[in-house]
Chains A and B, each alone.
Chain A
Amino acid sequence: AQSVAQPEDQVNVAEGNPLTVKCTYSVSGNPYLFWYVQYPNRGLQFLLKYITGDNLVKGSYGFEAEFNKSQTSFHLKKPSALVSDSALYFCAVREGTGGFKTIFGAGTRLFVKA
Chain B
Amino acid sequence: DTAVSQTPKYLVTQMGNDKSIKCEQNLGHDTMYWYKQDSKKFLKIMFSYNNKELIINETVPNRFSPKSPDKAHLNLHINSLELGDSAVYFCASSQESGYTFGSGTRLTVV
- CB proximity to B under 8 Å, residues A69-92: 88, 90
B110 at the A interface (CB under 8 A): no
Asked if A104 contacts B43 (CB within 8 A), the reply is yes
- CB proximity to A under 8 Å, residues B50-73: 50, 55-56
Asked if B31 contacts A44 (CB within 8 A), the reply is no
**Complex alpha-carbon distance, A106 and B50, angstroms:** 26
A43 at the B interface (CB under 8 A): yes
Binding stretch for chain B, among A11-19, A21-29, A95-103: A95-103
CB within 8 A of B90: which of A44, A51, A103?
A: A44
With contact pairs A100-B48, A100-B50 given, residues A43 and B90 touching in the complex (Cβ less than 8 Å)? yes
With contact pairs A49-B97, A51-B97, A94-B97 given, residues A42 and B103 touching in the complex (Cβ less than 8 Å)? yes
Chain A residue with the shortest CB-CB distance to B98: A46
**B-side contacts of A90, CB under 8 Å:** 43
- The tally of residues in A whose CB lies under 8 Å from a CB in B reads 21
**Complex alpha-carbon distance, A32 and B42, angstroms:** 20
- The tally of residues in B whose CB lies under 8 Å from a CB in A reads 23
Q: How far is the CB of A38 from chain B (nearest CB, A)?
A: 8
Interface residues of B, dominant DSSP: strand
**A-side contacts of B4, CB under 8 Å:** 43
CB within 8 A of A107: which of B41, B94, B99, B101?
A: B41
**A-side contacts of B94, CB under 8 Å:** 102
CB within 8 A of B41: which of A49, A88, A103?
A: A88
Asked if A45 contacts B41 (CB within 8 A), the reply is no
A67 at the B interface (CB under 8 A): no
**Complex alpha-carbon distance, A82 and B50, angstroms:** 38
Binding site for B on A (CB under 8 A): 32, 34, 36, 38, 42-46, 49, 51, 88, 90, 94, 100-104, 106-107
**A-B contacts, 24 listed (Cβ < 8 Å):** A32-B97, A36-B99, A36-B101, A42-B104, A43-B90, A44-B92, A44-B101, A46-B100, A49-B97, A90-B43, A94-B97, A100-B31, A100-B48, A100-B50, A100-B56, A102-B94, A103-B45, A104-B35, A104-B42, A104-B43, A106-B41, A106-B42, A107-B41, A107-B43
